[in-house]
Amino acid sequence: MGGRKSFQKAGAKRDGTRFLALPWDVLQSPAFLALSPYAVKLLIDLGAQYRGTNNGDLSMAWKLMKPRGWKSE
């Protein structure tokens, strides 16, 4: 597989902006379609934390979610 060097090489081709990729299969899955609008927003807010190297280090801590518009812990 590609590994770290492929990741770095791909990074050199990008302009530095980040994006959140949601695969078509996910968007069409029954589980995703059953999500409430708040659950979809939560998924996107959680995905917004992804930086390319912090997979597995995503958090829904109140300190992070309150500035994103969440009203309740």
- The answer to whether 20 touches 44, Cβ cutoff 8 Å, is yes
- Determine what percent of the chain is predicted with pLDDT higher than 70: 84
Q: Which residue has the higher pLDDT, 72 or 4?
A: 72
Average pLDDT, the chain: 87
What mean pLDDT comes out for the span 54-69? Answer: 91
Structure tokens at 20: 């959140």
What mean pLDDT comes out for the span 54-61? Answer: 88
Structure tokens at 49: 């934390």
Helix (H) or strand (E) holding 41: helix 37-47
Q: Spell out the domain ranges in the chain.
A: 23-73
pLDDT tens profile 14-45: 677 888 889 999 999 999 999 999 999 999 99
